[in-house]
Homo-oligomer: A and B are copies of this chain.
């Protein structure tokens, strides 16, 4: 591995720690600035980035421990980089990401539970099916699990675009565009993952592949978790305003 490759991944992980910590604080402060009905959505939004923050600290430390610098050259330290942290993270965060979108839409309690359960379980299944492929070095094994993981992914995409279209039509006008955008951000950012997954299968090998996979997953995580979280906050805020929510004496004074 080249020094610039090692450094790029190292700095990308450190950057992501700062992003996830900031996004967590933003979501938790945001709770008091939206109507009570949307606070659980923002709790979940903050938990997603908090869980990612925890795992990026672990990933950073694992990366740091995996390599040593010997007279300006990067050498394996003998300690294996723990790839499982990502999958452990996704197993928790990917279902929560879908649930935060359902919660901010404020469907009926029964619909909320039904859709959260269905999409949450499909998301967990998708992550579980990806892992055996990720840890394999045999291309045919990687393709098999990639295809299996894509099946729940496609069901989720179908559900987001067809299953939720009635619910989106019922959102207040000021938030409808943002809710629809949140679906696109979900699907487009999630497409990064299966693409990054196939990098080693389409000719990227050695340290170039390792660098591309780590940086690729990191960029995808920032968009899908922190970027998506800001969008959820904006939706919650617009909907709160549409419902006449005023958050404190200062705003009351200016509203009068």
Does B245 lie within 8 Å of A247, measured CB to CB? Answer: no
Which residues from chain B contact A50 at a C-beta distance below 8 Å?
Answer: 21-22, 25
Query: With A26-B47, A29-B43 given, is the CB distance from A15 to B250 under 8 Å?
Result: no
Is A248 interfacial (CB-CB < 8 Å)?
A: yes
Give A219 Cβ to nearest chain B Cβ, in Å.
13
Taken together as a complex, chains A and B put the C-alpha atoms of A25 and B17 apart, in Å, by 19
Give the contacts of A192-236 with B (CB-CB under 8 A).
none
Which residues from chain B contact A85 at a C-beta distance below 8 Å?
Answer: 11, 14
Is A5 interfacial (CB-CB < 8 Å)?
A: no
Which residues from chain B contact A7 at a C-beta distance below 8 Å?
Answer: 82, 84
Total A residues in contact with B, Cβ cutoff 8 Å: 55
Does A39 lie within 8 Å of B33, measured CB to CB? Answer: yes
Query: With A55-B18, A253-B244 given, is the CB distance from A43 to B26 under 8 Å?
Result: yes
Taken together as a complex, chains A and B put the C-alpha atoms of A31 and B248 apart, in Å, by 12
Q: Mark A30-69, 1 if CB is under 8 A from B, else 0.
A: 1101111101100100110011001100100000000001
Does B240 lie within 8 Å of A244, measured CB to CB? Answer: no
Does B246 lie within 8 Å of A250, measured CB to CB? Answer: yes
Taken together as a complex, chains A and B put the C-alpha atoms of A24 and B46 apart, in Å, by 13
Which residues from chain B contact A246 at a C-beta distance below 8 Å?
Answer: 36, 249-250, 253
Query: With A25-B47, A29-B39, A246-B249 given, is the CB distance from A18 to B254 under 8 Å?
Result: no
Does B248 lie within 8 Å of A254, measured CB to CB? Answer: no
Query: With A15-B91, A246-B250, A249-B245 given, is the CB distance from A22 to B51 under 8 Å?
Result: yes
Known A18-B89, A34-B250, A37-B250; 17 more pairs at CB < 8 Å? A14-B58, A15-B92, A17-B54, A18-B54, A18-B55, A18-B88, A21-B50, A22-B50, A22-B92, A25-B47, A28-B29, A29-B31, A30-B43, A35-B251, A36-B246, A36-B248, A36-B250
Listed in ascending order, the chain A residues whose CB lies under 8 Å from chain B are 7, 10-11, 14-15, 17-19, 21-22, 25-26, 28-31, 33-37, 39-40, 43, 46-47, 50-51, 54-55, 58, 69, 71, 78-80, 82, 84-85, 88-89, 91-92, 240, 243-251, 253-254
A-B contact pairs, 17 of them (CB 8 A): A7-B84, A14-B85, A22-B51, A25-B43, A25-B46, A26-B43, A29-B31, A29-B39, A35-B254, A36-B246, A36-B248, A37-B250, A71-B78, A240-B250, A243-B253, A243-B254, A247-B250
